[in-house]
A and B are shown apart, each in its own frame.
Chain A
Amino acid sequence: MSGGVDSAVAAARLRDAGHDVTGVHLALSAKPATMREGARGCCSVEDSRDARRCADVLDIPFYVWDMAARFRDDVVEPFVAEYAAGRTPNPCLRCNEKIKFTAVLERARALGFDAVGTGHYARLSVSADDPAHPVLRRAADPDKDQSYVLGVLRPDQLAGALFPLGASPKTEVRAEAARRGLVVAEKPDSHDICFIPSGDTRGFLAERIGEAPGEMVAPDGEVVGHHRGVHDFTVGQRHGLGIGRPAADGRPRYVLGLEPVSRTVRVGPVEELDVTSLHATDPVWLAEPPTGCVVQVRAHGGLARASVAVTDAGVDVTLDEPLRGVAPGQAVVFYRPDDAGDVVLGSATIASTSR
């Protein structure tokens, strides 16, 4: 229970369904009191209090589990290391994989619980006859769908997961929270990264990585500017490149690629962003690896039909239509290519892309 509306309603629904529910709030910051003041997140004293208030209203036990060290080691430090290596990580996905459905789930199972329920928006069915093959689907509310950040979970992790909000639109969840007397009914959604409360990701990274200046190079090899470190950039980025003079043809430049060893940021016109194939590693499969599927390459948008070839080295994905803004470090999630297109087949981590 983060202290937000979704996990509170999820807990309420699980309790109403007859489960023996215990609320757990994760303390993820070494200094909870200083993490965030007021606003919204999953680390502050205020959020911990909100979560406790909801648990009390629901009349369920409530505990705070200190996962700060695990979160630092498994989420925050890899996040920094990935940026330093010129990739673009998704910390929420990593938190689901390493914290919520590894550290929390394993501790919960050891304590005698059967599952970890969360307020994620995704539909999950685990058959009692065949728990090794859980079916994870997109949420009914397309705006809230979080199947992408859950697609990284293995079958044994999903077998211990419950997502009671997957079939509901967010508006319904908020109305239900109000009806149940949960004080968080009107609490704003969280958007930014919970461990960067200021929202200043670049500042956060600069503090930890420092400066590693290098050149910004156009496709013809011309040096068009300088930068303070590849971690300042994400593939597909247009704004904040800090290049004084326009391109010869006057068209906007985009970040095309990041090369941390030579400290090079490659920039160029938008069409150079088009990716037609990608290589991904560390695949996780919920079903037989597909040959054809729909892929999603970032948390929001970035969908295309594709053909997939599994090799010893990972997964080679050939897109039917080019996609823009495909960043190494992000996950590629594979969906079944039927009309609904909502069943997650598996996922992998994007290692490289090509035009």
Chain B
Amino acid sequence: MTYLDHAATTPMLPEAAATLTEALGRVGNASSLHTAGRRARRAVEESRETIAQAVGALPSEVVLATGGTEADNLALKGLYWSRRAADPRRTRVVVSAAEHHAVLDAGEWLAEHEGADLDVLPVDAQGRADPAALRALLADHGDEVAVVSVMWANNEVGTVNEVAALAEVAHAAGVPIHTDAVQAVGAVPVDFAASGVDALSLTGHKLGGPVGVGALLLRRDTACTPLLHGGGQERDVRSGTLDVPGTMSLATAVRAAVADVERRRTTLTALRDDLVARVLAEVPDARLNGVPLDRPGERLPGNAHLSFPGCEGDSLLMLLDARGIECSTGSACTAGVARPSHVLLAMGLDEDLARGSLRFSLGHNSTAADVDAVVEAIGPVVERARRAGDALARS
């Protein structure tokens, strides 16, 4: 099996799996006062310190949550509510057009149900949110904006934003900024403090940890209204009994992934460049989406996103799957119907080309054999998918 869908979820690191399974056998609520509780609390706090250290945050800035979606929702809604409460004029929410649905849909929900005005910051043809565009937007409405959210790295085309520059622009207008960094942590260097952002989402299963545990890094001085009310855990921002084994495993994975960033960057960049070059050689009219490979710092090392004119993405996906190669197209609706990606459309691709796109995402255990498998399969698969596209158009 050739697994090239690491951006969807990546295999657990053996040490993270070991930490998790070992911890599952223990009892203890980290909020309890007895011995078992104290032990659990110690394990959680040590994990928090580990995570904080790995990503340049203070331990008290780590708000544990169930993953990227929760962290994104907490950041968007929590910052919006708290900023609006402090200053009722601040009812605008700014998100980039290439955000994950966890951010986009949270913003749309605020617009529909909480009286927010949603400003969508356009992205350029490479999927990048331009700090100058944000500056222009904030110049007009800066004193009405409650929160800005721009992702660190895009999940589809792998474009890495200039987060520090965006944060500077937001702060110059007195606006807090959140960044969804679930694709970035463990793939590129991420330093929360140095980036200047006020809130940052990360999740375990994208970096070699377990599914169902992640964190919102939230600056100590940033007020955030909770989504979940209850026992007051996590600075009262995120109530709920802490997942002790999950948190321990997350910490193990974050530490290992961050320590491995340089090796991953070198290895995956080389594998990815090889994959793209050889796929383009097999399918000359295919095109690479996102940032060109000669600007490696602006693109996730493991991301190869390609469009194949005349093909339906789900035909390509099916034919590759049948050959043991697992990759991804854009999103599907609840009934499973393939939809052109909003990210590609925002980048200016036409709908047909957007539908005929595939994302290959390499990860920590990808090898040259994985690339060879794709290169061997892609020519016949594209040819066959084109025939299927022609058949549909003709009949």
Nearest Cβ on chain B to A156's Cβ, whole angstroms: 13
1/0 contact trace for A41-72 toward B, CB 8 Å?
00011001000100000000101111010000
- B residues 329-386 with Cβ under 8 Å of A? 332-338, 384-385
A45 to B336, CA, bound (A): 8
With A61-B321, A66-B338 in contact, do A110 and B333 touch (Cβ < 8 Å)?
A: no
- A residues 95-129 with Cβ under 8 Å of B? 102-103, 106-107, 109-112
A106 to B392, CA, bound (A): 7
- A residues 63-91 with Cβ under 8 Å of B? 63-66, 68
> Which of B314, B334, B387, B392 meets A63, CB within 8 Å?
B314
Complex interface: chain B residues within 8 A of A61 (CB): 318, 321-322
A263 in the interface (beta carbon within 8 A): no
| Beta-carbon contact of A111 and B384 below 8 Å | yes
| Beta-carbon contact of A111 and B315 below 8 Å | yes
With A33-B335, A48-B335 in contact, do A110 and B322 touch (Cβ < 8 Å)?
A: no
Nearest Cβ on chain A to B312's Cβ, whole angstroms: 9
Most buried by B among A20, A32, A107: A107
| Beta-carbon contact of B337 and A110 below 8 Å | no
With A111-B385, A112-B384 in contact, do A64 and B392 touch (Cβ < 8 Å)?
A: no
A111 to B388, CA, bound (A): 6
Nearest Cβ on chain A to B65's Cβ, whole angstroms: 27
B1 in the interface (beta carbon within 8 A): no
| Beta-carbon contact of B319 and A52 below 8 Å | no
B390 in the interface (beta carbon within 8 A): yes
Complex interface: chain A residues within 8 A of B336 (CB): 25, 27, 48, 52, 63-64
Most buried by B among A25, A45, A106: A106
Nearest Cβ on chain A to B281's Cβ, whole angstroms: 23
| Beta-carbon contact of A110 and B335 below 8 Å | no
| Beta-carbon contact of A33 and B392 below 8 Å | no
A52 to B334, CA, bound (A): 12
B35 in the interface (beta carbon within 8 A): no
Nearest Cβ on chain B to A220's Cβ, whole angstroms: 50
A22 in the interface (beta carbon within 8 A): yes
1/0 contact trace for B296-320 toward A, CB 8 Å?
0000000000000000001101110
Complex interface: chain A residues within 8 A of B333 (CB): 32-33
> Which of A63, A65, A107 meets B391, CB within 8 Å?
A107
A88 to B61, CA, bound (A): 69
Closest to A44 in B: B335
A61 to B326, CA, bound (A): 12
With A48-B335, A110-B384, A111-B384 in contact, do A22 and B322 touch (Cβ < 8 Å)?
A: yes
| Beta-carbon contact of A107 and B318 below 8 Å | no
A20 to B392, CA, bound (A): 23
Closest to A43 in B: B335
Complex interface: chain A residues within 8 A of B334 (CB): 32-33, 45, 48
A21 to B392, CA, bound (A): 21
A110 to B382, CA, bound (A): 11
A199 to B318, CA, bound (A): 36
With A61-B318, A61-B322, A63-B318 in contact, do A32 and B337 touch (Cβ < 8 Å)?
A: yes
With A27-B335, A33-B334 in contact, do A111 and B319 touch (Cβ < 8 Å)?
A: yes
| Beta-carbon contact of A106 and B337 below 8 Å | no
A20 to B338, CA, bound (A): 23
Nearest Cβ on chain A to B380's Cβ, whole angstroms: 9
Closest to B332 in A: A64
A111 to B382, CA, bound (A): 10
Complex interface: chain A residues within 8 A of B395 (CB): 102-103, 106
A25 to B318, CA, bound (A): 14
Complex interface: chain A residues within 8 A of B318 (CB): 22, 61, 63, 111
Complex interface: chain B residues within 8 A of A102 (CB): 395
Complex interface: chain A residues within 8 A of B392 (CB): 103, 106-107
Nearest Cβ on chain A to B35's Cβ, whole angstroms: 44
With A22-B322, A102-B395, A106-B392 in contact, do A32 and B384 touch (Cβ < 8 Å)?
A: no
Complex interface: chain A residues within 8 A of B337 (CB): 27, 32, 64, 66, 68
Complex interface: chain B residues within 8 A of A63 (CB): 314, 317-318, 336
- A residues 22-45 with Cβ under 8 Å of B? 22, 25, 27, 32-33, 44-45
Complex interface: chain B residues within 8 A of A22 (CB): 318, 322
| Beta-carbon contact of B335 and A112 below 8 Å | no
A42 to B385, CA, bound (A): 26
| Beta-carbon contact of B338 and A64 below 8 Å | yes
- B residues 243-284 with Cβ under 8 Å of A? none
Q: A32-B334, A63-B314 are in contact. List 14 more A-B contacts (CB 8 A).
A: A25-B336, A27-B335, A32-B333, A33-B334, A48-B334, A63-B318, A65-B314, A102-B395, A106-B392, A110-B384, A110-B388, A110-B390, A111-B315, A111-B384
5 contacts between A and B (CB under 8 A): A32-B334, A64-B314, A66-B337, A110-B387, A111-B315
Residues of B within 8 A of A (CB): 314-315, 317-319, 321-322, 332-338, 384-385, 387-392, 394-395
9 A-B pairs with least C-beta separation: A64-B336, A32-B335, A110-B388, A110-B387, A106-B391, A110-B391, A48-B335, A27-B337, A66-B337
